[in-house]
Structure 1
Amino acid sequence: MARVLFLVPLYALAAVGIYYMFLKKPPPVPEIDLNTWWGPNELKGKQDTSIRPFKVTFTESMIKDLKERLKNHRKWTPPLENIGFEYGFNSKQLDSWVSYWAEKYNFQEREKFFNKFPHYKTNIQGLDIHFIRIKPQVPAGVEVIPVLFMHGWPGSVREFYEALPLLTAVSKDRDFAIEAIVPSLPGYGFSDGAVRPGLSATEVSVVFRNLMHRLGFKKFYAQGGDWGSAIGTSMVTLFPDEVLGWHTNFAMIQSPYATAQMLLGSVFPSLVVEPHLAERLYPLGKTFSYIIEESGYMHIQSTKPDTVGVALSDSPSGLMAYILEKFSTWTNPNWKTRADGGLEERFTRDRLIDNLMVYWSTNSITTSMRLYAESFGNEMRHTLDKIPTFVPTWILQARHELVYQPPAILKEKFPNTIGVTVLNDGGHFIAFEMPETLAADVLKAISAFRRLDRSKLKTEL
């Protein structure tokens, strides 16, 4: 009897898997308004569709106010004894970071650094969207191809700065060179935020698709991690004929099939994941405990972003602690036991503060966090998750990524996955942490996309 009781849930899981893999048809791709207006209504009919040069500027008044706030903070609550970053940012470490930002961070030099690449703005659907655009000079016989790069939270376009020269370099070993387009997400940094509810990751994918059309690209490649991955996944589902290839360093799907596969693998791991990678997913108790431990911020930002936004937009010290704690634990979860959080193991202080400046100088932390509230309850996004995309896909999986799903699960959403790169290093911010690795993998993926015989690609389940 015990054996029968043990087999019943396994048969049930198998039945669910068979149903979702072979019997249940995915829903049709829903129609979506490609011109939803997200800006002030009074600007309708007055939209400036030109592409305008833009400069990052740190004003003297902003710098003066920032320094005063950094220097006049209240005394920190001391950390508990023998604690690193387990409770969040270790307040014993905060003084040196705050004083560095106020006294040693060279605002003029960093402003110049930000402007080393060409920046632009253009109005899409009522929002001024900021983007970096780098077009390489190429010799005869080398094709310039457009690639859209999308960041996430709490990152920014700053994450790609070290990788961009590598990505856009011309090589005698390739017959193509990348023209990089790197936009700031709406509500992040230099891009406007929406003035009304509803701008989820799905709607951002429309904004960015329209941006690419504005720039003259009817077909293009795309790359993204974190929210950039969610946006890109929506884009390749809604516009599969426009995206020539999709590279993501944060591939993840949520579906009954994925859940059934994960549960099946907890009993028979070899059916779901390669043996040497099984510990990245199993035991499930460890995986779910880690996700719960690291997702508290997500629940806050998905429900009450404006409340926590008041504190973070008023206190640069609070903003620093809130964001840098993510760059510690999400880069390597083992660093949370270290008193310094391991922050300078992979990043310099200037680089991390550069990213903070994107949020602080534009007062955009609240509008950035609203993306969570708009996306997690978005029915359109849940529908798109259930629809496979046949766009050629390449997946990069870092050792310490927040979530790991093996190709056996991901193929439900991405049946034309033509390559998976599994790293034994790196974390969530791979472009920022390991730019050479990200650049090399993107170039490898695009080379593979270009060699594809598209007539042989899978086009239906």
Structure 2
Amino acid sequence: MIIYVVLALVGLLVYLKQKKNSRDDFSSLASYYGDHCWTAEDEVFDSEVHPFKIEIESAQLDDFRTRIENTRFSMPSLKDTGFTYGVNSEFMQDVVKYWRDSFDWRKQEEELNRFPNFKTKIEGLDIHFVHVKPVSSKNQAKPLMMVHGWPGSFYEFYKIIPMLTNPTLHGGNETDAFEVIVPSIPGFGFSQSAEVKGLGSLHCARIFHKLMLRLGHKEYYLQGGDFGSYITTHLSRLYPNAVKGLHLNFNTTSFPPLLILKILVGSFAPSLFFDKETANKLYPLKSMVLEQLLETGYSHIQATKPDTIGYSLSDSPVGLAAYILEKFSTATDPNGREKNDGDILKYWNYDELLTNIMIYWWNGNITSTMRLYKESLADHAPTSNIKVRVPVGYASMPNELGPCIRGQLEATYKRLLSFTRISEGGHFAAFQVPHLLVEDIRNFVRLAENEKARQSFREAECRQQFKQTHLDRVSQ
């Protein structure tokens, strides 16, 4: 009963707030346009794009090996707990053994350099990005920026990039060719971290728009998951004339008041209000709410005191790995919590998992990545009532964090062209099920292109009718 009362009160508060601010208030976004500098010193203007090769110094490798050799393991996990208390000790010992004896960083370094890497300075920060043009295309390639989240990286997209840039792979055709740009969020990967406070997801959106303009793209498509969903959604709010379409695989919206009421009433007869799959995610409400509380403690820490935990994660590669790998288990398949390996190895091998972790380790920026949670809290207030009016497609993963209902999305994304229930996959969709995600991206972009063509046709018809009416009046 307490759950129902809390949800009802939340719904009422949201409703009253939305009623008070029923129209989009773009004036609240004024401070997010323009130029900023995120370093302690004034920005040195440099608009050049420089090739970048990932090369870790031997001294860093030696230091890493020493730390791995001197690992001090945590106490053994309790019997039959799997990942329910956090990452399992037996699994971590296997990870460290492979990391120490079999993992070849130089080989993975070659893999990361397989696609062209670049850096360019924007708002005082060196922004790293991967830029891959299509293999060949009879038609003009569509620019597509893909944005990762936490605790992922640009490496998440290495499986899907070939499918997007080579339209003959996995059932595509010549019209499906994309020019793919994958930036590292400021403070993530090989992008420079801010030296002053305030850089949240809205500011990241502005930086990435400047990146696309620098690459010569005044119009482009977007795709994002996790923080990438927030950043690309903000991009669509700030620059709707530039964004041709937005594809997401993570829900950034809250439940609108009427939907909250529907969920509350529907708990007594779910089948009357929701399809079976949606009902299974929502009910019982107590389980749904408790699941969110169980798996979101880390976000509260990172949104309040990220620097404190950053000390331990920056000092121990095994501590860093444990913290990240636990998320790859629970955010991919909640049933994996019962197993000693968290079911992680069902979807990825050690090399893939450790390469993502090493990107955090080499750059020593786990603290700056967690700060994004704290900085982005300020972004919610000025955007909560602003609708997204560009074409949107959504890929609903069965094991994504939290439920997502089409009506929930439609309250914010006013031109939701597609809502696809994907057969498998979780939070790290591009990394786990790239073949399914690429199919949905292609289908969405086709819908967006067709809608644009129809709109252009209607506009041409209107212009012709106006012209004809004007001529008729003149002739009379």
TM-score of the two chains, using structure 1 as the length reference = 0.91
SS in 2 for 1:133: strand
Alpha carbons of structure 1 residues 272 and 70: separation in structure 2 relative to 1, 3 Å: farther
Distance 2:208 2:33 in 1: 11
What's 1:185 paired with?
Answer: 185
Q: Which position in structure 2 is the counterpart of 1:411?
A: 410
1:233 alignment partner AA: T
CA distance in 2, matches of 1:115, 1:38: 29
2:157/2:430 contact within 8 Å kept: yes
Aligned counterpart, 1:77: 75
Structure 2: gaps of 5 or more residues: 460-476
Look up the match of 1:3. none
Following superposition, the deviation at residue 14 of structure 1 comes to 9.9
What is the distance in 1 between the residues matched to 2:74 and 2:350? 21
Give 2:141's match in structure 1, choosing from 134, 141, 144: 144
User: 1:33, CA displacement in angstroms?
Assistant: 3.7
Decide which of 126, 129, 143 is 1:128's aligned counterpart.
126
Structure 1 Cα separation of the partners of residues 13 and 88 of structure 2: 46
* Offset, 1:383: 2.7
Task: Tell me, yes or no, if structure 1 residue 366 matches structure 2 residue 352.
Answer: no
| CA shift for structure 1 position 254 | 2.4
Which of the pair is proportionally richer in helix? 2
Q: Deviations over 1:175-220 (max 9, x none)?
A: 2410000000000010011111111111111111111111111111
SS at match of 1:198: coil
1:56 is displaced (CA, Å) by 1.1
Q: Give the conservation status (yes or no) of the 8 Å contact 1:16–1:260.
A: no
Q: Is the 8 A contact 1:273 1:408 kept in 2?
A: no
- AA aligned to 1:151 is H
Q: Which residue of 2 aligns with 1:316?
A: 317
Q: How does 1:35-434 map to 2 (within 5 A)?
A: 35-44=34-43, 46-140=44-138, 142-171=139-168, 173-254=173-254, 257=257, 259-267=260-268, 269=270, 273-376=274-377, 378=378, 380-434=379-433
Question: Which portions of structure 1, spanning 4 or more consecutive aligned residues, are displaced by more than 2 angstroms?
Answer: 8-24, 32-44, 137-140, 170-176, 254-277, 380-383, 453-457
Task: Report if aligned partners of 2:249, 2:396 keep a CA contact under 8 Å in 1.
Answer: yes
Which amino acid is 1:439 matched to? V
Paired residues, what number? Answer: 447
Residue deviations 1:300-355 (CA, integer Å, cap 9, x gap):
10111111000000000100100001101111000011011111100010000010
CA distance in 2, matches of 1:21, 1:76: 48
**Percent identity between the two aligned chains:** 37
**Structure-2 change in CA distance of 1:390 and 1:43 (3 Å):** same
Q: CA contact under 8 A between 1:184 and 1:191: conserved in structure 2?
A: yes
Structure 1 position 271, deviation (Å): 6.8
- 1:356 to 1:170, Cα distance in 2 relative to 1, 3 A: same
Which residue is 2:470 aligned to?
none
**Contact residue 36 and residue 123 of structure 2 kept, 8 A:** yes
Contact 1:38–1:199 at 8 Å: present in 2 too? Answer: no
In the superposition, relative to structure 1, how do residues 173 and 293 fare at CA in structure 2: closer, same or farther (>3 Å)?
Answer: same
Cα shift at 1:36: 3.9
Task: Specify every segment of 5 or more residues in structure 1 that has no aligned partner in the other structure, as ranges.
Answer: 1-7
Q: Secondary structure at the match of 2:294?
A: helix
**1:11, distance to aligned residue in structure 2 (A):** 11
Distance 1:55 1:23, change over 3 A: same
